[in-house]
Structure 1
C-alpha cells in the first residue's frame, strides 16, 4: 500500500542568504557585471549561462560608502551568490557536484587584495517537489518552464525522495530557490553557518513550513 506524501518537518531546508538584521547591506561592487553571463537558472536555455560559460574573472571592489564588507553568503551579484573561502569549503565537502564556483579578483579601498571570495551557483536541477502534496502558490503566466512556485506568501513543500537520491543540494525547474537536506543543514550549522543571530550570512529555513 502506497503511503500518502506530506511535507516532513526537519527533512529539507531552503538555503539562502540571510538578509535579516536591518543594516545597510554590503558595499561590494561587481565592476564587470555586464561582461558576465547570467546564472544557469536565469538563462534561456540554461546552457547559455552559468559560471562554466564565463570568459573572464569577476572583478569586485569594496566601497565603504555603500555598505559593509560581505558576509560569508551574499546575494546581489547578477543572480549569483558571493561566498567566502570558508563557506565554499563547507559546500564542497558536502556536495562538490551540486555547486559551481569561480574565484573573484576582489580589491579593498586601498587597492590591496581582499580575502578570497567566489561567485557561486547551485547547478544541480531536480524536479523533486511533489506538487500535489505541497501547499504553494503556483504562477503560470509567461514563465520559461510554464510555471513558477512562489514562496512569497509562504509554502509547505513535500519532496519526491526517489528523485533526490543521495543529492544534498539542488534547485528545481520551477523555482530559483535552492534546497538542501538535513545532512547538509546540520553540517553547515556545525561549521558555524546559519545559527541566528550570528548566522554568517546563511539562512536555513525548514521547507515544510516556509
Structure 2
C-alpha cells in the first residue's frame, strides 16, 4: 500500500541506554591494584582536566586477582574514573566502536597460578550532544573550567541526533560521568554473553532532537 503524503517515512531515532555495572552485585570484587601507589597519580586515578585519556603512569598497572579477596571479577568493573574490562569486553567495544574507546593492558596475577587478562578502559568520545535550550537542566559552575550539568532527578535532557551521528558509545559533554550507548552496542554485548552489565533508560527523560 503506498505511503501517504510525500511517501517518505520519518526515520526513527535510535534508542539510547545508560551503561552501568549491575549494582545488585553486593559482594566486593576479588581484585586489587597492588602497585597503585607506584603509578604516580596521587590518591585518585582520573583523566587529565578537559580531556578523556589515561594520565602518564610510572608503571604498568598490576592487578592481583584472587577469590580470597572477594567474588570473581566480572566483564566490566569500576576503578576510579575508569573501568576495568575483561578480554571479552575489550573485544566487543573495539569491534563495535574502536574510535570511542581506549585500553591499557594490566599485568595480572593470582595467588593460585594464572589470572585472566584485564584492561584499564576509558570511553574517550565526548559529544556536545545535549540541546540545552530544549532540555530541563541546571548548569553548575557556568563560565568556568568546571562547567557541568546537575544530576538532580528532575532534570531531563534532549539529544541532538546529528551530533551523535554514527557513534555507538560516548559520554555527554558536561555530564561525562555517564556512559551512553545505542542499540547496536547493547546487542553486541548481549550476543557476546557479557554479564553483570545493566542497560538502563538513560538518566531522567532523555530524548532526541532532530535538526
| TM-score class normalised by the smaller sequence | 0.7 to 0.9
Residue 54 of structure 1: CA displacement?
A: 3.5
Distance change (3 Å), C-alpha of 1:64 and 1:136: farther
CA contact (8 A) 1:155 1:207 kept: no
1:184-210 Cα shifts (integer Å, max 9, x gaps) = 1222222223xxxxxx12111122747
1:20-69 Cα shifts (integer Å, max 9, x gaps) = 13x322021112223154333xx32437xx33734531101125344212
Partner of 2:22: 18
CA contact (8 A) 2:136 2:156 kept: yes
CA contact (8 A) 1:9 1:206 kept: no
Any idea what SS the aligned residue of 2:83 has? strand
Residue 179 of structure 1: CA displacement?
A: 0.7
Distance change (3 Å), C-alpha of 1:137 and 1:202: farther
Higher relative contact order (CA 8 A, sep 6+): 1
CA contact (8 A) 1:157 1:207 kept: no
Residue 161 of structure 1: CA displacement?
A: 1.0
Partner of 1:133: 134
Partner of 1:174: 174
Residue 148 of structure 1: CA displacement?
A: 2.6
CA contact (8 A) 2:137 2:149 kept: no
Computed over aligned residues only, the root mean square deviation of the Cα atoms, in angstroms, reads 2.8
The whole-number CA distance in structure 2 between the counterparts of 1:142 and 1:92 is: 35
